[in-house]
A and B are shown apart, each in its own frame.
Chain A
Amino acid sequence: MKTNKILLDHGSGGKISHSLITDIMLPIFDNPILSQLNDGAIFDVEGKRLAFSTDTYVVDPIFFPGGNIGDLAINGTVNDIAMCGATPLYLSVGLVIEEGFSLDDLEEILKSMSIAAEKACVKVVTGDTKVVPTGVADKIFINTSGIGLIPESVDIASHKARPGDKIILSGSIGDHGITVLTQREGMTFDSSVISDSAPLNHMVNGMLCVCNEIHVLRDPTRGGVGTALNEIANKSNAGIRIYEEKIPVKDEVAGICELLGFDPLYIANEGKLLAFVDPDRAGDVLAAVKDDEFGKDACIIGEVISEHPRKVFMQTRIGGTRIVDMLTGEQLPRIC
């Protein structure tokens, strides 16, 4: 059943978001850089290769365990740039604030943005603020854009996964999505799960120091690991096999997912990355990830295979096999 209005599903990061981008947006803005649809755009300027990315944050609630909309907005764009293999340098910040928003809250958000920027070693160099009447926006929306420099020898893109590549995941999945979800009306749980929102550029830097032949990097945000792997399988025209028992999920996250009928593979992460690496170098790269403060629980979760192009398979714990499809729309709690 087609719709002529935008629904929340269009923003879920799953298949329905994809069709909005490819069917409506891409034809309008079509150009060779955009059509690569990487986390950030990659292009040359005067002999230097740059990565440029933008992202808008509308998270509800704006304060959540482990962070707030401000540091999330900094980390998110830093990570999108880092996933191009670039060193993030400069960021812009655009604020849309609802009339009546607390000045104290704004200050707290801005301070955490500053701390996050410092931690990621990037500078916020330009910005813009707009205030809209009550009800026109929900509290505060933040856009961040940023640019970074790509080292000469680095060539990372989501179509470069090759059969044999090992897939490294930098830690447990679903922490951010579950944290935010369990703060909402009707879904509240008390738990010690906190958002994993974190900058990953130092981790990427460490990885590139031991091996500059990383093929693909991806931060599995909206749509989760399941959707990110599908995108990579599609663009690389390769098959992917992962192992259920290898994928780290915190007990609490697993428990809440069981209660609500969610699959952690589709829950958002804000401080995790997936790396596709030549099998001979996977051990070294994994060690580099584990050396980073946000990569302690990193592990190899699977590999790229030549069979079944564009499909993601998971070997289940009991030895069965199933397909991991891309998320369709928003995951809804499954109860009855």
Chain B
Amino acid sequence: MTIKHIEEYRDPDTSRKIIDRIQNISKSKIRIMEVCGTHTMSIFRSGIRALLPNTISLLSGPGCPVCVTAQNEIDAFIELSRVDDVIIATFGDILRVPGTQSTLQKEKGYGGDIRVVYSTFDALDIARRNPGKRIVFLGVGFETTAPTIAASIISANEMGLDNFFVFSAHKLVPPALEALLETDNVRIDGFILPGHVSVIIGTKAYTPLFEKYKIPGAVAGFEPIDILQAVSLLIEQIESGHPRLENAYIRAVTFDGNKKAQKIMHDVFETVDINWRGMGTIPKSGLKIRKGYAAFDAQREFDILVPYSKDPKGCACGEILTGMKIPPECILYKKICTPMDPVGPCMVSSEGTCAAYYRYHS
């Protein structure tokens, strides 16, 4: 493949040299957590784990938005899909996630009008073409996705659409990192920080966290060389005892981030405390639609009351998301819980740690 700004970062020769360097400098046993599902996927797909010395453990954190969406939110999505005049528009990731009783994919099979889109603008198109229906976009994602959804709400407002709604289940990364570091029994020596979340929020968003915890961090891109370089930088920091907040994704990430996207996100959303699957409620880690745009808030438009639902019995997704367990340590893994018949969200999303382990790990 010859895609510019990708090809260079998949070069076998450079990769090998970085791996050599990692082999040379790695001495003590360290645990590095990636907090982005696309990093998890990329690490597995390029077979990076097998190339690293056994001193390095890579843990997958709460970086897959589908995986951290609370079960009662999934149940609410399913309830909404059963409302007569509703068309659900969603990214594909969420379709197979099991709620307490069902999945959106099953609801689709039972006649629910559920459409997978590539962009929120496609959902606006559906709303325009179906004036007699109410279109609900399922807002699942982190800071990368939230501004695109905010922009679509602003556009819907400008277009005067009265049948477009967003169910905001968005989550924010920095508060989750802090929650992780505050959790007992969690041992993380350094973070590979998410690439495209950081495109929006900039490296400055991690400064307070870094100042408080002095935890080594490196923002990374998604190609093998990006990830290897970040791992190498983190090992250097940890071995030398000089933690830093580094940017290993210079072509895409700046200190300030994308200010215009931040403003649009801020104009439409305000922060709220929100429940993360497996992690409980994290203060100011969610996004709720502001009063000014309340007309587009699905939670206001629809009276969907879903009781707090418990995570499935035996499912260790919570411990896996916080790095306390790896998938083979879960009693359900590969026995009851498989990609064909997933129990917990980490097995459903292709970016989920369990699914990645199942698919790519021997």
Interchain CB contact under 8 A, B117 and A186? yes
Q: Which of B101-109, B206-214, B314-322 sits within the interface?
A: B101-109
Contact A318 B10 (CB under 8 A): yes
Smallest CB-CB separation from A5: which chain B residue?
Answer: B109
Cβ B145 vs Cβ A332 within 8 A = no
In Å, the complex CA distance between A245 and B46 comes to 12
CB proximity of B361 to chain A, nearest CB, Å: 7
Which residue from B109, B142, B359 sits with its C-beta under 8 Å from A325? B359
With an 8 A cutoff between CB atoms, is B141 at the interface? yes
Q: Give the chain A neighbours of B311 by CB distance below 8 A.
A: none
CB contact under 8 A between A322 and B360, given known A1-B341, A19-B340, A254-B1 = yes
Q: In whole Å, how far is A128's beta carbon from the nearest beta carbon of chain B?
A: 29
A-B pairs, 4 with minimum CB distance: A320-B47, A332-B92, A336-B141, A335-B91
Partner of B362, one of A6, A308, A333: A308
Interface string of B80-94 (1 = CB under 8 A from A): 000000000001111
Q: Which residue of A lies closest to B142 (CB)?
A: A336
How far is it, in angstroms, between the C-alpha of A119 and the C-alpha of B135 when the chains are bound? 48
Within the assembled complex, what's the spacing in Å between the Cα atoms of A19 and B341?
12
Q: Does B259 belong to the interface (CB within 8 Å)?
A: no
| Bound CA–CA A262/B181 (angstroms) | 33
Q: Which of B65, B105, B140, B342 has the most CB of A within 10 A?
A: B105
- B341-355 CB mask vs A (1 if < 8 Å, else 0) is 110000001110000
0/1 per residue, A296-322, Cβ < 8 Å to B?
000000000000100101111111111
Closest chain B residue, CB of each to CB of A184: B116
B305 touches A (CB below 8 Å): no
A335 and B12 contacting across the interface, CB-CB below 8 Å: no
Q: Which of B98-127 contact A (CB under 8 A)?
A: 98, 102-103, 105-106, 108-110, 115-119, 122, 125-126
Measured in the bound complex, the distance between the Cα atoms of B228 and A77 in whole Å is 46
Within 8 A of B (CB), among A158-204: 185-187
B341 and A336: CB pair below 8 A? Answer: no
Report 22 cross-chain contacts, Cβ distance below 8 Å, ordered by A residue: A5-B106, A8-B109, A15-B339, A185-B115, A186-B117, A258-B3, A259-B118, A313-B362, A314-B47, A316-B47, A318-B47, A318-B228, A321-B50, A322-B44, A323-B361, A329-B96, A332-B93, A332-B116, A333-B92, A336-B93, A336-B141, A336-B142
Contact A317 B95 (CB under 8 A): no
Residue of B nearest to A9 (CB): B105
User: How far is A263 from B44 in the complex, measured between Cα atoms in Å?
Assistant: 13
The CA-CA distance from A201 to B173 in the complex, in Å, is 54
Could you tell me if A334 and B45 are in contact, using CB atoms closer than 8 angstroms? Answer: no
A16: B residues at CB distance < 8 A: 340
A261 within 8 A of B: yes
Q: Which residues of A contact B342 (CB under 8 A)?
A: 1
Q: Across the interface, do B145 and A186 meet the contact criterion of CB distance under 8 Å?
A: no
Question: A323 to chain B: which residues have CB within 8 Å?
Answer: 359-362
B320 to chain A, nearest CB (A): 19
Partner pick for A318 among B16, B340, B360, CB 8 A cutoff: B16
User: 1/0 contact trace for B8-21 toward A, CB 8 Å?
Assistant: 00101001100100
Q: What residue of chain A has the Cβ atom nearest to residue B139's Cβ?
A: A336
Residues of A with C-beta under 8 A to B122: 185-186
> Given contacts A258-B3, A336-B141, are A318 and B51 in contact (CB under 8 A)?
yes
For the complex, what is the distance from the CA of A8 to the CA of B342, rounded to whole Å? Answer: 17
Partner of B106 from A7, A260, A317 at Cβ < 8 Å? A7
Residues on B with beta carbons closer than 8 Å to the beta carbon of A328: 339-340
Residues of chain B lying within 8 A (CB to CB) of residue A314:
47
A255 CA to B6 CA in the complex, in Å? 10
- Residue B177 interfacial (CB < 8 Å): no
The residue of chain A having its C-beta at the shortest distance from the C-beta of B224 within the complex is: A318
Residues of B within 8 A of A316 (CB): 45-47, 224
B358 within 8 A of A: yes
Residues of B in contact, count (CB < 8 Å): 60
A322 to B358, CA, bound (A): 11
Looking at B94, B109, B122, B141, the one whose CB has the most chain A CB atoms below 10 A away is B109
Cβ-defined partner of A335 (8 Å) among B109, B145, B228: B145
Q: Does B3 contact A251, Cβ atoms closer than 8 Å?
A: yes
Give Cα distance in the complex from A8 to B95, angstroms: 12
The interface bits of chain A over 1-23 (1 if a CB of B lies within 8 angstroms of the residue's CB, else 0) are: 11101111100000110010000
Instruction: Answer whether residue A249 sits at the interface, using C-beta atoms and an 8 A cutoff.
Output: yes
A311 to chain B, nearest CB (A): 7
* Minimum CB–CB distance for A256 against chain B, Å: 11
Is B46 a contact of A318 with CB atoms below 8 Å? yes
CB within 8 Å of B: which A244-287 residues: 245, 249, 251, 254-255, 258-261, 263
Complex Cα distance, B122 from A185, in Å, reads 8
CA distance A335 to B19 in the complex (A): 30
Task: Identify the closest chain A residue to B92 (Cβ).
Answer: A332
With a CB–CB cut-off of 8 A, which chain B residues contact A261?
350
CB pair B47–A336 under 8 Å, yes or no, is no
Whether a CB of chain A sits under 8 angstroms from the CB of B192 is: no
Docked-complex contact A319 and B340, CB < 8 angstroms? no
Query: Do B115 and A186 touch (CB < 8 A)?
Result: yes
Residues of B within 8 A of A8 (CB): 105, 108-109
Structural contact, A258 and B93, CB atoms closer than 8 A? no
For the complex formed, measure the closest distance between the CB of A125 and the CB atoms of chain B, giving whole angstroms. 38
Measured CA separation A313–B44 after assembly (Å): 12
A186-B119, A251-B3, A323-B362 known; 12 new pairs, CB 8 Å cut-off, are A1-B342, A5-B106, A7-B109, A186-B117, A313-B362, A315-B47, A318-B16, A320-B48, A321-B50, A322-B44, A323-B359, A325-B359
Most buried by B among A245, A254, A260, A318: A318
* B102 CB, nearest partner CB in chain A, Å: 8
Q: A261-B350, A323-B362, A325-B359 are in contact. Are A318 and B15 (CB under 8 A)?
A: yes
Which B residue's beta carbon lies closest to that of A250?
B1
B116 touching A322 by the CB < 8 A rule?
no
Residues from chain B with a CB closer than 8 A to the CB of A2 are: 341
B359 and A7 form a contact (CB under 8 A): no
Take A318-B51, A325-B359, A336-B141 as given contacts and tell me if A255 and B46 are in contact as well, using a CB distance cutoff of 8 Å.
no
- Bound together, the chains give a CA A145 to CA B359 distance in angstroms of 35
User: Which of the residues B6, B47, B51, B351 comes within 8 Å of A334, measured between beta carbons?
Assistant: B351
B135 to A: closest C-beta gap in Å: 12
